[in-house]
A and B are shown apart, each in its own frame.
Chain A
Amino acid sequence: MTVGVLAVQGAFAEMEAYWRAKGADVFEIRQRADLSRGMDLLALPGGESTVQGKLLKDLGLFDPIKSAIDGGLSVFATCAGLILLAEKVEDGGERSVRPERWFGILPVAVRRNAYGRQLGSFTARGTFDGTPDVPMTFIRAPAISAIFSPDVEVLSTFDGHPTAVRWRNITAFTWHPELHIG
């Protein structure tokens, strides 16, 4: 299996290690030419969603990646990656977030920085997709605040709120499975 990891900003090295540990061939996507490599899965890592969204636009990656996802390319997205994919992004207060920076594909709403600033970051253990006691790390994490389609499958929850979902070709997390390798 070949995995393309979006490597414009954030924890892409951790995401690469995560997929290598699963035996995948991994390459980095930093500019448009990298997309010609072809992949079985696109991994969108954690980081700052505003930065990643802007770089996707500036580097000409946004449109080809959006059409590939719309065309059925499998996607594995964590934290900032989930925010990039969400149909609706909620943001408290007057914030300079640019809606044109989001793909807007996954039929959920996310609330950015839902648990507050870094002092609100935390770890937990829970059931993920039937597997119990999975370690989950939430770093300035978003929350999935609404689900807009009955086809969205909830894979994990925390305190009653969904924290990972699957919909068609997309699996997306508010937490960071790539921070727990092995």
Chain B
Amino acid sequence: MAWKTYLMKEETKKMSDRQKLNRNLAQMLKGGVIMDVTTPEQAKIAEAAGACAVMALERIPADIRAAGGVSRMSDPAMIKGIQEAVSIPVMAKCRIGHIAEARILEAIEIDYIDESEVLSPADDTRHIDKTKFAVPFVCGARDLGEALRRIGEGATMIRTKGEPGTGDVVQAVRHMRKMQSEIRRVASLREDELYEAAKELAAPLDLVRFVHANGKLPVVNFAAGGVATPADAALMMELGAEGVFVGSGIFKSGDPAKRAAAIVQAVTNWQDSRLLAKLSENLGPAMVGINAEEIETIMEERGK
């Protein structure tokens, strides 16, 4: 197709430009809801409900948790089926440190790779060097240090880890609050205190300097993990999220289309409690969920 000839432009091949373009795509997703889907039908429901992107995976986190065993990248044929079904961006997960899975996802032109703790880690100490990829990456983080380490490795979007597949928002709240309060602390430091801060955070100094100067991460920051209701989504926006991932919360609930649309509106108008009250009415049963402290597999501990 003729439009594709633009891709050959020399300047687009430079990785620093790709990083910028990939940060820009995350900017376009802000104020939106990214939904986990396992079939083309679910992807269409999500798109019609107003998802700004979908995460294609074989099993949603709640089922991964229930099934146990090793959890891997989804079948590329399944992901391609979802790419065919919708016009919004399609994301997919690879295991932490699994360079080859990431290459495969890049080869099928995924719009965003989630190097995700929801899957079984392939490397228990190292993440992927994401600066070597043209395709963008989003990574989970529990605090500012983790976020900046992932950005240093080339992630162009951050999300809280939360505790996926539980329907319990407590960990996402903890991670977002911690990250925001650490950002405020770094912003309040003297310039000559930033070296020590970088050491404490175990984060690259140039990124600590960015946070100090701008009072925010250099990339878009979403909430994820345990969001199940419009009120959960509004809570995460209140705490500083720029958008929300909803994993198991939608297609494990009684009326996915209605719940999905309500969460989309809640993210846009999180400050309007009268509207939130209306959106929360008659949504049917939410996912049953499990309390985060009752579970045995702690996904948030994967990949630091």
Bitwise interface map of B from 96 to 139 toward A, beta carbon under 8 Å scored 1, else 0: 00000000001001111000000000000000000000111000
A137 to B21, CA, bound (A): 8
Whether the Cβ atoms of A12 and B31 lie closer than 8 Å is yes
Q: A10-B31, A119-B109 are in contact. Are A159 and B5 (CB under 8 A)?
A: yes
Q: Which residue of A lies closest to B112 (CB)?
A: A118
Chain B hits for A137, CB < 8 A: 21, 24
The verdict on B88 contacting chain A, using a C-beta distance below 8 Å, is yes
A11→B31 CA distance, assembly (Å):
8
Q: Which residues of B contact A124 (CB under 8 A)?
A: 6, 9, 11
- A50 CB contact (under 8 Å) in B28, B47, B261: B47
A115 to B12, CA, bound (A): 13
Q: Mark A65-102, 1 if CB is under 8 A from B, else 0.
A: 00000000000000110000000000101111110000
Binds A, one of B79-87, B158-166, B168-176: B79-87
Given known contacts A10-B31, A48-B52, is B9 in contact with A122 (CB within 8 Å)? yes
B53 is an interface residue with CB less than 8 A from chain A: yes
List residues 270-298 of chain B with CB under 8 A from any CB of chain A.
Answer: 272, 275
Contact of A118 with B28 at beta-carbon distance under 8 Å, contacts A50-B47, A96-B85 already known? no
Tally of A-B Cβ pairs under 8 angstroms: 155
Q: Which A residues are in CB contact (< 8 Å) with B32?
A: 9-10, 47-48, 51
Once bound together, how far apart are the Cα atoms of A113 and B111, in whole Å? 12
* A148 within 8 Å of B (CB atoms): no
Number of A residues with CB within 8 Å of any CB on chain B: 49
B62 to chain A minimum Cβ distance, whole angstroms, is 25
Q: With A137-B24, A140-B111, A179-B24 given, is the CB distance from A51 to B264 under 8 Å?
A: yes
Report Cα–Cα, A50/B275, bound state, in Å: 22
The answer, yes or no, to whether B48 is at the interface (CB within 8 Å) is yes
A49's closest neighbor in chain B, by CB? B87
Chain B positions within 8 Å of A37 at CB level: none
Partner of A118, one of B25, B49, B84: B25
Do most interface residues of chain B lie in helix, strand or loop, or is the interface mixed? Answer: helix
Contact B3 A114 (CB under 8 A): yes
A9: B residues at CB distance < 8 A: 30-32, 50, 52, 267-268
CB distance from B263 to the nearest CB of A (A): 12
- In whole angstroms, how far apart are the Cα atoms of A139 and B27 in the complex? 10
Bound form: Cα–Cα A12–B269 in Å:
14
Is there contact, CB below 8 Å, between B4 and A50?
A: no
Render A143-181 as a binary contact track against B, CB cut-off 8 A, 1 for contact: 100000000000000110000000000000000100100
Docked Cα-Cα span, A166 to B242, in Å, equals: 32
Question: Which one of A58, A114, A115 contacts B7 once the chains associate, using CB atoms below 8 Å?
Answer: A115
- Residues on the A chain within 8 Å of B248, using CB: none
Distance in angstroms from A45 CB to nearest chain B CB is: 9
Within 8 A of B (CB), among A101-117: 112-117
B246 adjacent to chain A (CB < 8 Å): no
Known: A48-B28, A120-B6. A59 touches B86 (CB 8 A): no
Are B51 and A51 in touch, CB under 8 angstroms?
A: yes
The reply to whether the CB of B44 lies closer than 8 angstroms to some CB of chain A is yes
Contact A118 B4 (CB under 8 A): no
Contact between B4 and A120 (Cβ–Cβ < 8 Å)?
yes
Which residues of B pack against A, CB within 8 Å?
3-7, 9, 11-12, 17, 20-22, 24-25, 27-32, 44, 47-53, 83-90, 106, 109-112, 134-136, 261, 264-265, 267-269, 272, 275
